[in-house]
Structure 1
């Protein structure tokens, strides 16, 4: 008898919940309609294309389509580890990503701390506006500006020759390719990335800073012992997310800078997939490389999250 009453009560609760939910959805229907453009975008360009990854396990023929193309299992993934060109491109990708993590990732943290230490709010806002600006330039514009400065008759070479040095072919020197990529990325994205860290700095308890001043701590000690630990959780989360994209080196920037002289060091997975998939119509192999990138990113995120938790920090989940 009690079991029947519990089942009846549970059914009534569920019915009430769904009635309340439907009432709220209908009441706020016009607000929920605002979600439609975003939902349609993710459905059309993010969710539905996932099913197209099945071509990574096929010898895909565009004339036969996905349903009739021959199934080859993991043969395309096997090619990733057998093709010497893929291994070279993978090595280039990992090296450029490592340099980005070492030099580009800390740059907005340092800039945010420097801006936070400025007492004059007018100067602070002016500097923020200036450093945000390059983010809104396309990579075409950024690479064009860099080329103007670095070409043989450009400003940099003019300065070198004025100081008595020989001019340098920056854009065709393979040894300078990665440093130029890093400098361009720092200039373009550092200012915009400071937004997150400035928000984290704004949440610091000012009583801690005041207490440190009373105890005689100078500016450097306050930064090292209070400010840096306070933004530590934000830094950890962003670093975990960055590890998830370790095989994404920035297609547009690299593609625009590639030429026959630096391709040996500058060709990365993204540009390699473009050449294989678009230029050579090797769609199945390109899809396999894309899935491989996603798998590596997933493993790195899960591994980094677990390591962070073992050290007592809050991870992503």
Structure 2
């Protein structure tokens, strides 16, 4: 019987390298692909060399896929535009849909791969994506936007494993020890220092503006609206203030931010747009996570077209437009959308 062929995304990091070895152990025919996504100086020279070293070690062919134009169109430009609109972007979710589980899947078809694999910490049951066994590394939040039809074709070798076990595995394999001690990659690959450093070549971020209170009175100054997200409490002045003030609204058209007390951040209702569902139901109860690294809260969801109305059972602080609202039923990912 002919072995099933897998195309795996390889970055040169420990997760994708160990994933490649695990797939080979499981009897698959494995080929790797390194994707060039952006033009951060020196980045690809380092990471492509690491990926090639990993592929050579694993004994697999490595393809180089230049996706810089597509990445710029589908991920980087929307990142800039979302900030200009006074919202908080989530480029990783866009990258997963359009690049890692978009362009890479199309390339898998070209090379005749039956499956597509990555080093993400996530699982699936053939229909639904499931949270990883290691809840400290779970990446399901960032995969809510991928095409549900792809799920049966995906392989996630690390989904049932913990990060500590992956590092221990790498440390135990002769010649792979250096991968076990590599530093973790940054959360967003094209951000080396701060978001503002990324934005500055494209937009004027340092334009002083007014700080307003909830009644619309000018109470202070800020250094440019793109420096702020909903819930931030530092980096602006409020004259005569003794209690903490938090950003509760961003007005990009007038370069103003509105601040208020902590309770002004409380939100009990959210609307989402461009909803992507792994579930056929149009109305259901579940839990929703409104930002990565936050606790999911119970809610009631009503779907209308590609929008969702979400009634929260308890207040959530600092809900930001542009972020993702992701639905869960236990560890099962039901889908999600973008906060309006």
TM-score with structure 1 length normalisation?
0.22
> Bigger radius of gyration, 1 or 2?
1
More helix by share: 1
TM-score with structure 2 length normalisation?
0.21
More strand by share: 2
Pick 1 or 2: higher relative contact order, CA cutoff 8 A, min separation 6: 1
